[in-house]
């Protein structure tokens, strides 16, 4: 896959000419980030250039900016059902508007995949569907703020889906069912404990199927980290302060098992999730004197990590498909516990485990009206009741998500539904 990695990290031949689009970041040599008008023109040019790319508007922000999805393949899939099951990846770029390096890496990767002519990339795209949301938080990017126009952290809204941005992403996850979900971010260092060039983290939520969890940790430790280190960058685990002398963890500051965080939501839904964070701080006197050097280093580390991700997608194709397929069909057996807390590095307490979950949850008419659209966006199935309410069975693909949405003990539930213990009439419910 060396040829494919080179394609992703290097602009195609002729990129300096008039026919191959370049981002504002590229034309300014890293002095500034790509503006949103430049992004729109860039993506439109790529879309016109090749049948490998299709672009959709999947949502609109409160301030009227489009949230877009780029579909890439050989050729690009026309419909969700054309996605290569078991071989699809979704890149979510810059959920936090003041973390732009992932967006720049995503934009250039879209272009390089679209224009590549080497056999390795063409073979890869013949077997893999690549989905990209280049700017997941357009209002935040325009304002250079972490949150969206309402100040909401979108990466804490993947359960309630109250923001238009999270709702757009949930629609893509529901319709395209990506097997791998890769989320690009940035972070500020805390010396001397938290200073690596690039950090990554898999789904820690305990409802993530074991095989999916194994593939996600492999993506992080066996592919992303080595690819980044090969380019001369340092790596570590996100959310853990580490003693620089002993290498032992000192404090967990983030990255727990919260189901509302995208990498954890991905795991609960059966996708191989990964969060990647590159360091924003200037590392040298030269970077302090010239912000362009700092910007270019941040984007370069993101591109190095993406190279590792694409190598993983190619080499673990069969394992990914087996893991995600098993995770998404396991719910139909309606067996096993559901975890309302804990993480893979923090065992759940007894009161955080539904050891014997109910077979369904009952929503009255008022509750159902309030949560119906959110359940639909998550891909949850239900059976309508005569009184206008609904019964949501656990025997479905989204089995482990249902209690997180409806059980009173779940930390971020949408509503408090009534557990149902006898479900002969509702198992296998439908919408």
Do 72 and 124 belong to one domain? yes
pLDDT at position 11 is 53
- Per-residue pLDDT, averaged over 98-103, amounts to 98
- DSSP secondary structure string for all residues of 170-193: HHHHHHH--SEEEEEEEE--BTTT
When divided into structural domains, the chain yields a total of 2
369 touches 386 (CB < 8 A): no
55 touches 69 (CB < 8 A): yes
Residue 122, Cβ density class (10 Å: 0-12 exposed, 13-18 middle, ≥19 buried): middle
3-state secondary structure of 20: coil
Least confident of 5-14, 188-197, 277-286: 5-14
Do 185 and 163 belong to one domain? yes
pLDDT at position 149 is 98
Do 259 and 388 belong to one domain? no
Domain boundary among 275, 308, 327: 327
pLDDT at position 4 is 60
| Closest by CA position to 301, among listed 7, 9, 34 | 9
pLDDT at position 117 is 94
Q: 11-62, pLDDT tens digit by residue?
A: 554 444 458 999 999 999 999 999 999 999 999 999 999 999 999 999 999 9
Q: Indicate whether 408 pLDDT > 80.
A: yes
Mean predicted lDDT score pLDDT of the chain: 93
Q: 260-276, pLDDT tens digit by residue?
A: 999 999 999 999 999 99
Q: 345-361, pLDDT tens digit by residue?
A: 999 999 999 999 999 99
Q: Is residue 429 part of a domain?
A: no
Higher pLDDT, 74 or 100: 100
pLDDT at position 7 is 54
Angle at 272 between CA 121 and CA 59, to 5 degrees: 80
Note down the domain range covering 407: 334-420
pLDDT at position 148 is 98
- Per-residue pLDDT, averaged over 333-352, amounts to 96
Q: Indicate whether 180 pLDDT > 50.
A: yes
pLDDT at position 1 is 41
Do 401 and 257 belong to one domain? no
Q: Identify the band that residue 399 occupies on the pLDDT scale cut at 50, 70 and 90.
A: very high
pLDDT at position 13 is 44
Q: How far apart are the C-alpha atoms of 184 and 106, rounded to whole Å? A: 9
Do 88 and 217 belong to one domain? yes
Q: Indicate whether 175 pLDDT > 60.
A: yes
pLDDT at position 254 is 81
Q: Indicate whether 123 pLDDT > 50.
A: yes
Q: Indicate whether 133 pLDDT > 60.
A: yes
Do 154 and 252 belong to one domain? yes
427 touches 393 (CB < 8 A): yes
pLDDT at position 18 is 55
Do 50 and 82 belong to one domain? yes
273 touches 203 (CB < 8 A): yes
Sign of CA dihedral 291, 293, 296, 297: negative
Q: Is residue 256 part of a domain?
A: yes
- Per-residue pLDDT, averaged over 102-130, amounts to 96
CA distances (Å), origin 410, targets 49, 201, 205, 343, 405 = 48, 23, 13, 14, 7
Do 183 and 286 belong to one domain? yes
330 touches 398 (CB < 8 A): no
Which residues, 6+ apart, have CB-to-CB distance to 255 below 8 Å? 201, 204, 237, 238, 239, 240, 275
Calculate the dihedral angle through the C-alpha atoms of 389, 394, 397, 400, rounding to the nearest 10 degrees: 110
Q: 293-325, pLDDT tens digit by residue?
A: 999 999 999 999 999 999 999 999 999 999 999
CATH number at residue 45: 3.40.630.10
Do 341 and 266 belong to one domain? no
159 touches 259 (CB < 8 A): yes
Q: Indicate whether 426 pLDDT > 80.
A: no
pLDDT at position 44 is 96
Do 73 and 177 belong to one domain? yes
pLDDT at position 6 is 54
- Per-residue pLDDT, averaged over 66-94, amounts to 87
pLDDT at position 425 is 54
Do 8 and 53 belong to one domain? yes
- DSSP secondary structure string for all residues of 372-402: HHHHHHHT---EE-TTS-EEEESSSTTTTTH
- Per-residue pLDDT, averaged over 127-144, amounts to 97
Q: Identify the band that residue 96 occupies on the pLDDT scale cut at 50, 70 and 90.
A: very high
Q: Indicate whether 9 pLDDT > 80.
A: no
Domain boundary among 307, 327, 347: 327
Q: Is residue 372 part of a domain?
A: yes
Q: Is residue 24 part of a domain?
A: yes
pLDDT at position 252 is 86
Angle at 218 between CA 227 and CA 154, to 5 degrees: 85
Q: Indicate whether 184 pLDDT > 80.
A: yes
């Amino acid at each position: 896959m060396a040829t494919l990695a080179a394609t992703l990290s290097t602009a195609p031949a002729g990129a300096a000419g008039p026919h191959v689009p370049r981002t504002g970041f590229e034309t300014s040599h890293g002095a500034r980030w790509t503006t949103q008008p430049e992004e729109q023109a860039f993506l439109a040019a790529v879309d016109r250039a090749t049948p490998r790319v299709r672009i959709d508007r999947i949502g609109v922000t409160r301030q009227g900016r489009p949230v877009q999805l780029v579909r890439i393949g050989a050729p690009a899939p026309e419909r969700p059902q054309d996605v290569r099951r078991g071989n699809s990846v979704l890149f979510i770029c810059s959920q936090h508007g003041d973390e732009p390096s992932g967006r720049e890496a995503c934009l250039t990767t879209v272009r390089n995949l679209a224009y590549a002519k080497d056999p390795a990339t063409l073979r890869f795209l013949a077997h893999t569907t690549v989905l990209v949301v280049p700017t997941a938080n357009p209002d935040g990017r325009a304002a250079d703020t972490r949150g969206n126009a309402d100040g909401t952290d979108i990466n804490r809204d993947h359960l309630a889906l109250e923001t238009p941005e999270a709702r757009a992403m949930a629609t893509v996850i529901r319709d395209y069912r990506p097997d791998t979900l890769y989320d690009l971010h940035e972070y500020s260092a805390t010396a001397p404990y938290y200073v690596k060039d690039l950090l990554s983290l898999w789904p820690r939520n305990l409802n993530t199927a074991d095989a999916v969890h194994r593939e996600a940790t492999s993506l992080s430790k066996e592919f992303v980290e080595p690819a980044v280190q090969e380019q001369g960058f340092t790596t570590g685990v996100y959310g853990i302060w580490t003693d620089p002398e002993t290498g032992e963890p000192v404090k967990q500051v983030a990255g727990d098992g919260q189901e509302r965080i995208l990498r954890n939501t991905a795991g609960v839904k059966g996708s191989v999730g990964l969060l990647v964070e590159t360091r924003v701080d200037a590392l040298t006197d030269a970077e302090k004197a010239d912000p362009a050097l700092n910007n270019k280093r941040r984007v370069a580390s993101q591109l190095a990590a993406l190279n590792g991700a694409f190598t993983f997608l190619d080499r673990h194709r069969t394992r990914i498909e087996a893991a995600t397929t098993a995770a998404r069909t396991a719910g139909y057996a309606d067996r096993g516990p559901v975890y309302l807390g804990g993480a893979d590095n923090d065992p759940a307490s007894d009161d955080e485990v539904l050891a014997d979950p109910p077979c369904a949850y009952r929503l009255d008419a008022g509750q159902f009206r309030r949560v119906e659209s959110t359940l639909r966006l998550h891909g949850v199935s239900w059976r309508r009741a005569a009184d206008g309410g609904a019964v949501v069975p656990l025997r479905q693909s989204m089995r482990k998500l249902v209690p997180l949405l409806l059980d009173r003990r779940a930390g971020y539930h949408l509503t408090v539904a009534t557990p149902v213990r006898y479900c002969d009439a509702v198992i296998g419910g439908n919408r």
